[in-house]
Amino acid sequence: DQQVKQNSPSLSVQEGRISILNCDYTNSMFDYFLWYKKYPAEGPTFLISISSIKDKNEDGRFTVFLNKSAKHLSLHIVPSQPGDSAVYFCAASADSGGSNYKLTFGKGTLLTVNP
Amino acid sequence: GAVVSQHPSRVICKSGTSVKIECRSLDFQATTMFWYRQFPKQSLMLMATSNEGSKATYEQGVEKDKFLINHASLTLSTLTVTSAHPEDSSFYICSASERRNSNDEQYFGPGTRLTVT
């Protein structure tokens, strides 16, 4: 049972354009969401997060939007750069502020930004 | 950000042998460490959560007798795959966190590629 779903295994965009990565979840207990970037043979690197009390969080070129009613979040990267090419994982936690903040990951979306 | 290392980065072992993977937090004390495994084109699957000085909490379906986790100090956790079989071949990643109340400060190691022949 996949509680966090990234339905697009891959996405290709042109440099300078916007990249939109989508993520859906099924567990209504999730209250904290994170995006990680991962290069081959490396561990994930934290990018940006959002609490369920917000619907938008922005950090430089990265913006995460959360639609709780639709159980959907998205990561926007603008402008996209070739160095952004990586696998992006969406992750969720159900224990915000607690001591056991296990992360549940989606399968990832491979983003390719073409020069 | 904080640095987490894993050793070895790659290991090949024969079926039936045991393999130990180390996860170290290099510049902070990790109150909690997590172990994940990832199959090709799959998500990171949490295997277990360990807190320093206490027994690890395993996720459903993970055999605790097969995947031994020891979190003996605030900077070191080890995962031992006992009696490894080819189906245990995977990418194992650890993560560590300094604080109990923060969701985003979970730092990942570079991962260990295990191949069982």
B100: tokens are 């109990």
Taking the CA of residue B89 and the nearest CA in chain A, the distance in Å comes to 14
Q: Do A97 and B101 touch (CB under 8 A)?
A: yes
Q: How far is A17 from chain B (nearest CA, A)?
A: 26
Give the H/E segment covering residue B95. strand B90-97
Identify the band that residue A100 occupies on the pLDDT scale cut at 50, 70 and 90: very low
- pLDDT, tens only, B105-117: 678 999 999 999 9
8 Å CB contact between B13 and B82:
no
At A99, the pLDDT band (50, 70, 90 cuts) reads very low
Decide if pLDDT at A36 tops 60. yes
